[in-house]
Amino acid sequence: MNVLCVGNSFAVDTHTYIHEIAKANGLDINVYVLYIGGCPISLHWKNFLSGEIAYEFYENGKYIDSVSIQQGLAYKKWDYVTFQQRSGDSVDSKTFFPELTKLLKGIRNFTLATNLLHKTWSYAKSYSHEKYGSNPLDQDAMSNDIDKAYEEVSKISGIKYIIPSGTAINEARKIFGDELNRDGFHLNERGRTLTGLVWVYFLTGVKNLDMKNFNPSGHTYDANTPPVSKEELEQLNEIAKKAIELNKGHNLYD
């Protein structure tokens, strides 16, 4: 299975461990990311029009090249292509359009892959957003607005399927507290492991992943980030399954 993410740093975070989790369970998932930090949908469309070599291209957690969006789309035969908004704009469905509609039409010249929306997560309470304040940020309000926005985008765009990374992060905070981000908005090892699990469940429809052969390490941006323990890994596995259950109606295998 080959998946292309038209994304930004949140896509890089979530795809870090997908291939390794899948491989540890005898599954074959390869995930590629077209990356520009903080990239909104509007800039993806602008780059599509210009053909500029503006993206860092990642394969299964590792940088491989600099490419245009067209080169990324033509790189492989894709099974799925995912889209997400810049994190701060994910709270408002209006920020997706009209550029997402144009982008969806444009990429049909390159791939007939199934399109997916990747729902992002609210910031840590210690971080800031002009709409939700700072110290503490109103995390619940931001999460609720992200949920509403992606529901609306799904209806308007016709993309039925939504990967519930944001849902999983919300659920994990109930157990781990606000300890899934490394800088207030990007994910730490715990958060990246959790969202990797969510993606594997979502993309394959398997009911239970075996974690005994998976070791989440080797990709951290922060040498001081503690590794995920085996006990935490099992907890994250259960949270990922719950996020898929809460996502009924938007899963590939409902």
Q: Residue 121 pLDDT > 60, yes or no?
A: yes
Write down the domain spans for the chain.
2-246
Q: Residue 219 pLDDT > 60, yes or no?
A: no
What's the rounded Cα separation, in Å, for the pair 29 and 228? 22
pLDDT in tens, 102-118: 999 999 999 999 999 99
pLDDT in tens, 28-82: 999 999 999 999 999 999 999 999 999 999 999 889 999 999 999 999 999 999 9
Counting beta carbons within 10 angstroms of the beta carbon of residue 143, is it exposed (0 to 12), middle (13 to 18) or buried (19 or more)? Answer: buried
pLDDT in tens, 178-210: 999 988 999 999 999 999 999 999 999 999 999
Which numeric CATH code is attached to 2-246?
3.40.50.1110
Counting beta carbons within 10 angstroms of the beta carbon of residue 213, is it exposed (0 to 12), middle (13 to 18) or buried (19 or more)? Answer: exposed
pLDDT on residue 226: 72
Q: What is the largest CA-CA distance in the chain?
A: 48
- Quick check: 122 and 156 in contact, CB under 8 A? no
Average pLDDT, the chain: 95
Q: What's the sign of the alpha-carbon dihedral 106, 109, 110, 114?
A: positive
Q: If you write DSSP's letter for every residue of 132-164 in order, what string do you get?
A: TEESS--HHHHHHHHHHHHHHHHHHH----EE-
pLDDT in tens, 146-157: 999 999 999 999
Element holding 33 (H helix, E strand): strand 30-35
